[in-house]
Amino acid sequence: MPFKSKQMIFFTKKNFWHKIYRHFIDYEMRQLRSSEHAFMVLIAIVIGILGGFGAIFFRFAIRFFQALAFGSWHYNLDYIIGLPWYIKLLAPAAGGLIVGPIVFYFAREAKGHGVPEVMESIILHGGAMRPRVVIAKITASAVSIGSGGSVGREGPIVQIGSAIGSVLGQFLKVNGSQLRTFVACGTAAGIAATFNAPIAGALFAMEIILSDFAFSQFSPIVISSVAATVISRHFLGDFPAFVIPHYELVSVWEMIPYAILGVLAAFTALLFINMLYKTEDFFDALSIPGWIKPVVGGLIIGTAGIFFPHIFGVGYGTIDLALESKLTWYFLLLLIVLKLFATSITIGSGGSGGVFAPSLFLGASLGGLVGTVVHLLFPAYSATAGAYALVGMGAVAAGAMHAPITAIIIIFELTNDYRIILPLMVACIISVLITSRFKKDSIYTLKLSRRGLDIFKQKEANILKTVKVADVMKKKVTKIKDNTPFSKLKHIVLNNHTDYLYVADETGHVKGLIYARNIERLIYGFEKPEENATAKDFYAPITFYFTPDDTLDIVLKAFESSSLNEFPVVADKYRLKLIGAVTKDNVIAAYNKEMVRRDMVDTVSGYISSAGRLRRIKMDNGQEMTEIEVPGSFIGKTLPELDLRNRNGVEVILIKQNYDTKTKERHQVITPRPNYHFRFGDSILLIGLTENIEKVKAVR
């Protein structure tokens, strides 16, 4: 028996107990997952608790960096106004010096306002996010806000909470739909905890992040939101974000200026969106290192903050002044311009923070401005400027986010005042109607559209984009040399049933083509060619040619603009060596075949569709066809690696991708490929014996 040291025995025992522990955990998870609803609810509670503590820690981190930057834990507007000018100038630049390396060398996802990155992870990766995003986003955003960056808390906390839900879901190896729900749970938890607004947190996750109000997702999201709020209220107290006087609708005629406010809020939101992304483009075009750009932005913010420190941070102190009607109309107008400028510079230069709080700031300033003017003109029939500031907050936020329900509810929960809800609803709806009319994308989705991700495009693109020329081309073509005499050309046409003859030079590179019917006219007609005529005298130059990698949608467009029924296929577009041809009949046959295949898929999906559940069709001989989401343990693996045919006795006949990064299409249906790596959100259509398919379903 070989000698074993004490250290070897220790590690052997350690590995033994580790295996026992893993088997125990796996068994418990399988038992828990046997009731999917209970599993989702339990994990939602865990995400809510973690999201609540994450929000608390994030707020503490902001205060910590505020104390470092400005010298006091008691940060407020009066304190900032009294600071020396050089602190106001240098604090944002110092913050940029920290944020830049974090964003550009540690986690690029931490740049910007966070919500689009969460939406992108759901679209492209089924909700999968990197664990380092939590650390990077907390640090970068806390430094940005704490050092005076003109951004909000909601974007970072959405990304932090979502990353917590994603990491936990990936650890538990859940499927794609469950992972997306956990991401939304993290979003709801973050919003609920940071704003003490559980209803708004749940609605934000469903209306903006998922764009779906499915009941199966609603329960865990609400539970996660409630759990986070309980944690937040325990440690931070049960207080609304803004303590405001009581407002009410003074006169029914007051709905007119509130409607006008909705219109103005829409154009303010549009200006905000455009200015934000134009500024981002400006900084992207600067030929300086990326990690330096936040420093430049910080210096610009600091310069403006010397004279108007109201733009620093989330700006809640200034919003309170607007809600209390303590600011003049001309100063409110100036604040709108300054906040648009400051937030655009902060985010555009590479800072990290949200855009919801700036939207509230802009809305409060705009509403206060309108309310001041209205109250001066009609004091007996209008409320004070603060009421209009409150409605303006919701209207600008709704217009920027294209989310009226979330904006209405979140303003209500931030203030705990129901009496202003009617003008708030009117202004928010008007704002969204106008902004969505002029700009399809919201402030969040525009970032995705600029990256080529069209979240509104549900219809599949031209189905011929998925079929290549190589799949349908004919390799047997009639090829002749350009010096072929007419006598031989005549013989070829009469003895070969072909419509086109391809003329090539000595090296085999195609020069043109001859329509066989034109040669037949010369043979049987009155007009005769010259005795020394060759193929060179009859061919037409090539107008279109394709390679095997071209797709048939391009070929179809060529046929639409040409009278020919056939085009050459060349090996290389530069040397034009003829290897085959693609005909109009090839394209039509491929189209019909693809239509039949997709019609089969749609028919199958129509029979077996049942939202959120496993779907199946019973067949003869104990077999069934079932569509399932790929289990978490399949993620990143290929079909040969899984070997489902030999291991489980089932056949994969179709794969539904959550998102195809090449075609930019959602729910792309593809045939099984050996090199395809499964991703979160993918589904597979299986066929096999019922008991074998049940084995696959049990895999986690």
Q: Quote the tokens at residue 288.
A: 């300086």
Q: pLDDT for 506-523, tens place per residue?
A: 777 777 777 676 666 676
Asked whether residue 410 falls in the same domain as residue 441, the answer is yes
Look at residues 421, 450, 479 and tell me which one is the last residue of a structural domain. 450
Asked whether residue 493 falls in the same domain as residue 546, the answer is yes
Name the nearest CA neighbour of 364 among 265, 257, 239: 265
Q: Quote the tokens at residue 11.
A: 């590690």
Question: How many structural domains comprise the chain?
Answer: 5
Residue 463: its pLDDT value, please? 63
Maximum CA pair distance of the chain?
Answer: 105
- Compute the C-alpha angle 61/65/68, nearest 5°: 145
**Cα–Cα distance measured from residue 143 to residue 166, given in angstroms and rounded to the nearest whole number:** 24
What CATH number does the domain containing 636 carry?
Answer: 3.30.70.1450
What CATH number does the domain containing 500 carry?
Answer: 3.10.580.10
SS in 3 state form for 90-109? HHHHHHHHHHHHHHHHCCHH
Residue 11: its pLDDT value, please? 42
Q: pLDDT for 588-623, tens place per residue?
A: 777 777 666 655 555 454 444 433 344 566 665 667
Which position has the token pair 């049987």? 524
Q: How many CA atoms lie within 13 A of 137 on its CB side?
A: 34
Q: 92 vs 696, which has greater pLDDT? A: 92
Asked whether residue 131 falls in the same domain as residue 205, the answer is yes
How distant is the alpha carbon of residue 368 from its chain centre?
A: 35
Residue 428 in domain: yes
**Cα–Cα distance measured from residue 19 to residue 9, given in angstroms and rounded to the nearest whole number:** 15
Asked whether residue 27 falls in the same domain as residue 40, the answer is no
Residue 635: its pLDDT value, please? 84
Q: Which of 81-90, 435-444, 483-492, 574-583 has the lowest mean pLDDT?
A: 483-492
What residues make up the domain containing 652? Answer: 609-698
Residue 484: its pLDDT value, please? 75
Asked whether residue 267 falls in the same domain as residue 413, the answer is yes
**Strand-pair category, 510-515 with 500-504:** antiparallel
Asked whether residue 325 falls in the same domain as residue 431, the answer is yes
Asked whether residue 141 falls in the same domain as residue 65, the answer is yes
- Burial category of 524 from C-beta neighbours within 10 Å (exposed 0-12, middle 13-18, buried 19 and up): exposed
Residue 331: its pLDDT value, please? 94
Asked whether residue 547 falls in the same domain as residue 566, the answer is yes
Burial 396-430 (b: 16+ CB within 10 A, else e): bbbbbbbbbbbbbbbbbbbbebeebbbbbbbbbbb
Residue 247 in domain: no
Residue 400 in domain: yes
| Confidence label for 350 from pLDDT (cuts 50, 70 and 90) | confident
Residue 415 in domain: yes
Name the nearest CA neighbour of 442 among 173, 209, 109: 209
Q: Which of 525-529, 622-626, 678-682 has the lowest mean pLDDT?
A: 525-529
Query: Average pLDDT, stretch 623-635?
Result: 81
Asked whether residue 75 falls in the same domain as residue 125, the answer is yes
Q: What is the value of pTM for the model shown?
A: 0.67
Give, in order, the Cα–Cα distances in Å from 472 to each of 291, 540, 663: 50, 24, 20
Q: Where are the alpha helices (DSSP H) in 286-384?
A: 293-307, 316-323, 329-348, 356-377
* Cα dihedral 44→46→49→50 (10° resolution): -110
Phi-psi region of 148 (alpha: psi -120 to 50; beta: other; left: phi over 0): left
Give, in order, the Cα–Cα distances in Å from 327 to each of 323, 427, 478, 510, 601: 9, 22, 85, 78, 62
Q: pLDDT for 220-244, tens place per residue?
A: 999 999 999 999 888 888 777 776 7
Task: Work out the mean pLDDT of the chain and round it to a whole number.
Answer: 80
Residue 298 in domain: no
What CATH number does the domain containing 415 carry?
Answer: 1.10.3080.10
Q: pLDDT for 10-40, tens place per residue?
A: 444 445 445 544 554 554 555 555 566 788 8
Residue 32: its pLDDT value, please? 52
Asked whether residue 495 falls in the same domain as residue 580, the answer is yes
Residue 594 in domain: no
| 271 has a pLDDT exceeding 90 | yes
Asked whether residue 325 falls in the same domain as residue 405, the answer is yes
Q: pLDDT for 126-179, tens place per residue?
A: 777 877 777 887 888 889 998 988 898 888 888 888 889 988 988 887 877 788
Query: Average pLDDT, stretch 413-427?
Result: 82
Residue 524 in domain: yes
| 631 has a pLDDT exceeding 90 | no
Q: Is residue 30 a contact partner of residue 700, using CB atoms and an 8 Å limit?
A: yes
Residue 604 in domain: no
Q: 562 vs 525, which has greater pLDDT? A: 562
Residue 592: its pLDDT value, please? 72
Query: Average pLDDT, stretch 41-51?
Result: 92
Asked whether residue 312 falls in the same domain as residue 441, the answer is yes
Q: For residue 650, give the 3-state DSSP assignment.
A: strand
| 119 has a pLDDT exceeding 90 | no
Which position has the token pair 């991401």? 183
